[in-house]
Structure 1
Amino acid sequence: MKIAVLKEAGGVETRVAATPETVKKLMALGASVAVETGAGFGAKISDADYAAAGATVAPRADVIAGADMVLGVQGPALADLPGIKAGTILAAIQSPFSDRAKIDAYAGAGLIAYAMELMPRTTRAQSMDVLSSQSNLAGYKAVIDAGEAYGRAFPMMMTAAGTISAARVFIMGVGVAGLQAIATARRLGGLVSATDVRAATKEQIESLGAKAIFVEKVAGISGEGAGGYATEMSDEYKAAQAELVSSHIAKQDIVITTALIPGRPAPRLVTDAQVASMRPGSVIVDLAVDSGGNVEGAVAGEIVERHGVKIIGHKNPASRLAPDASALYSRNLFNMINAFWDKEAKAAVWPADDDIVKGIKLTEGGAVVHERLLG
């Protein structure tokens, strides 16, 4: 089985889908690995490092030629896959709901496209979950970015010249990114609070030493959807949450928003009026800016200032820690391949009725097959 590893296109994506560590592991299974020239440069990995691990390093067309499986971070356009054969598996982050034309093109070419971001949230698939591995780093980086832009100390400091108050940090959305943001802000000495629409997260927030800010009097709403993801809330809940957040956010120095709903635009959590209520010099980091943003006025790829408040909208935050993000992402991919590896065939075998395969497979046999893309 030949596995090809692509160099990512564009200047924003600096991650890579395999590292020398995972190249060695794939070859130990019995696979051959070909890596596109320059694939690891953004993640501080040289071509020589891949060659030393046993991979063939070559231009893209040579890497793709004869490949049974192609690995990428962001799913490439079909035009960027010269010579790819029908039946090849293409595993990457595919964005199928926002880039349907690309998925249709894969189907037309007879590719088997896997969307790694649709990995089921199950115990068996936990080690393959790219959203969790990348969101963990994004949550950490959000706090570091906020601290740099804030320009003041995070912890309370008691000195002979007087006391410096701790930064007040509010985390909105307590998934993997939010939990890591809480933990990081706490380590830096911030006074941390957090909120989420899912009632089950209250205990998680408090276990990390943060204060839970929750709507208490709207009955029958948990906010929990399939796989532990957040779902769209009722108008009653939204109104109650907006009132609660408005009174709390005005007292904060740093706000980090992380709320995403799979397959839908990011929910609006912070209005322009709420931004205006914050003290000048405060900072907001919008981790959902690539999906439309949680914060009114946030601009993807920019740091803007509104009402004296900096709003940070870095695109693709995990790629800003490319070496670590690549290490985790490539292990996710290896763990998936390893789970389906047939030692005798020296190839991965993908049962059609497997819950993981059904969860991530977008196209096969010239057609789009994922149930969420049909109809």
Structure 2
Amino acid sequence: MTTRHDAPHQARQDWTTTPITLGILRGALDLEQTERGVLPHRLPARARLQIPDGQLAMAESQPSGVRLAFRTRATAVELDVVATKRVYTGAPPRPDGVYELLVDGRPAARASAADGDTLTIDMATMSTQFRTGPVDTLRFTGLPDAEKDVEIWLPHDETTQLVALRTDAPLHSPRPSGRPVWLHHGSSISHGSNAATPTGTWPARAAALGEAELINLGFGGSALLDPFTARALRDTPADLISVKIGINVVNADLMRLRAFGPAVHGFLDTIREGHPTTPLLVVSPIYCPIHETTPGPSAPDHSAMSEGRLRFRATGDPSETAAGKLTLTVIRDELARIVRERAATDPHLHYLDGLGLYGESDNAAMPLPDDLHPDPATHRLIAERFARLAFGDGGPFRTKAG
């Protein structure tokens, strides 16, 4: 059903070109005009002005959970894109990002952009090199010749500029789904690291199971209790909110226990300024053996990289937990305490232990391939458990349809 061209499509009279705006884009908080098209962002412009590092700038521009959504009779759709390909020096090549097309909510086709810009990252020195590449055209054909809802999910881990959208019949804004909007924030695991497809990340899969409209503010390496992220959560309309906190605070070795508790309180206080009674779920980290009792920072395992494998290791000293160094075990205890105490005056605040999503026994059966991120099967497992615990009977996100 799909073909790909290596150059932008030449205009023809039987194609309709539709401007790409936030009106047909779900899951993005902002759309930046670029020299070649538009770039979806998952943080608003005000927040982006305060981003302190390239990691978060890259992560928030990767469109996890972002999808084009429209209604049309078109049997063919073309999308011109400029994808940014990441190359990590010494690491195995990364697969091309996947674009998934859904018709009336069901998977219908996939495509990838083979060409685009290239960002080369040296993890040893954190230096980068950027090379400009060409526009690529994705073509989806053979769609049903009937009025239908179409979604094109953008690659969850590949920055994508959208250049042009063409269809062989006019398109219209999507009909309201009537589903609750679920706003989620988390780390690279929520972002979708190691998931095979954009609808295969655990938040996307959990949203489908829970019949919710996802806005995914999972940022690889960057769930660090930043105030500008809290304000973005505060200012984004949502019916349900979850925040998954912990792993990045540990593996970045960002703060000690004295700072962590007040930072969590401040993050939740800011969210509550805009959503005083919205169901708010605090989720602690899933099981990660390298950081359960060993503080950060984490670092690439260069011996594994020399063998063509990507793995991570913890470099902290467990004895320093007595002086306030953070581990995942410490963070789970602190988050449980904070939510328990706050819930006495906030009945819409809830806690979910991440070990209920993926615990020690799960790790024995389905180990994290790089010691930090789940594989596609584990993303499915986490999604199914989250959907049951959050959206299911007795869960804080229980919906009317649930």
TM-score range, shorter chain: under 0.3
Which of the pair is proportionally richer in strand? 2
Which of the pair is proportionally richer in helix? 1
Max Rg structure = 1
Specify which structure has the bigger relative contact order, considering alpha-carbon pairs within 8 angstroms and separated by 6 or more residues. 1
